[in-house]
Amino acid sequence: MQQQKTTALRRPGSRSIRAWRTRLMLMGLAAFGISAAHAAPADECFEKAGAYQGVNPLVLRAVAWRESKGDAAAINHNANGSIDVGQAQINSIHFPELTREGIPHRALTDPCVNIFVAAWLLKQKMVRYGNTWRAIGAYHSESPHERDAYARSIQAILVSWGHLQPGR
Amino acid sequence: MRLIALAAAALFLCNAAWAGQPAASAGPTVVAAAAAPAADKVYPPLPTLAMLPPASGDDDEAPAPHTTSHKKKTRQRDCHCAMPAPRLVVSDSSRAYLKDIEQQLDSALAQ
């Protein structure tokens, strides 16, 4: 998920909130059991993250499928030296901002945290471009060619899953 | 009739205000969390503390100031009998897996 710079929308967080978040993430890591043997289905996370940010959970599912086939432990290197982490392949360019938001990059290997972060990034694009395919494509890249190709690939996944009519 | 219209308008305005401020305060968080997210607003990556339902634990609270009185306080505990037990899976294998992931991340970042 290589991205160009995205709009930074930060909120000052108190120490207690950050502590709570850290705890939540640690609990999440434990509760969702990210070991291969204990990996809990992250189905609910798509719904919850989608409802929380107001993005379509099916799009989040398609993004996770497109990026990693839903592999929560996926870590990939990019040509520009950055890395993509987790099932939604969150790019390391976002690590500093996520750290400021109280989310250490290690937490991105938790499938649920990863999807919430993906929803957060997608919502940033939706605020910028509206509820459009352009916003979905911009999740991957702001470059028009790559953006449109990515949007088409997400569209194709949704069509193949029967959630979208071909040609819409 | 005018009174009813005023009451309805006030109720509408209140709802609109809640919808726009999902993390406004701890009190009405349940109402706020249930409201639809604003289309033009990006919320923090993870829900904030204020968006949680009222906490049952109090370990984050600041310690109460010491008083000179020696009254014994009876501490009421909430009964969570009806709630499902949280499932925490932390095993040696999951710890080893996490350690492995951390090493992968560290090495990936180091490259």
With cut-offs at 50, 70 and 90, classify the pLDDT of residue B103.
Answer: confident
How much is the ipTM here?
A: 0.73
Is the pLDDT at A91 greater than 60? The verdict is: yes
Q: Residue A84 pairs with which residues in a beta bridge?
A: A76, A91
Are A59 and A164 in contact by the 8 Å Cβ rule? The answer is no
Residues B11-67 pLDDT 10s: 443 343 333 333 333 333 333 445 788 999 999 999 877 776 665 544 554 555 555
Q: Which of A125, A51, A114 has the alpha carbon at shortest distance from B51? A: A51
CA distance B36 to chain A (A): 7
Mutate to test the interface with B, among A16, A20, A35 (most CBs of B within 10 A): A35
Assign 3-class secondary structure to A62-76. Answer: HHHHHHHCCCCCCEE
With cut-offs at 50, 70 and 90, classify the pLDDT of residue A111.
Answer: very high
Cross-chain Cβ contact B101/A109 below 8 Å: yes
Angstrom distance (rounded) from CA B26 to CA B61: 14
Angstrom distance (rounded) from CA B20 to CA A105: 30
How many Cβ atoms are within 10 Å of B8's Cβ, its own excluded? 10
What's the whole-model pTM score?
0.59
More confident residue, A108 or B15: A108
Mean pLDDT of A125-136: 97
Are A53 and B42 in contact by the 8 Å Cβ rule? The answer is yes
Highest mean pLDDT among A101-110, B5-14, B20-29: A101-110
What mean pLDDT, rounded, does chain A reach?
A: 81
Q: Tell me the domains of chain A and their CATH numbers.
A: 15-160 (1.10.530.10)
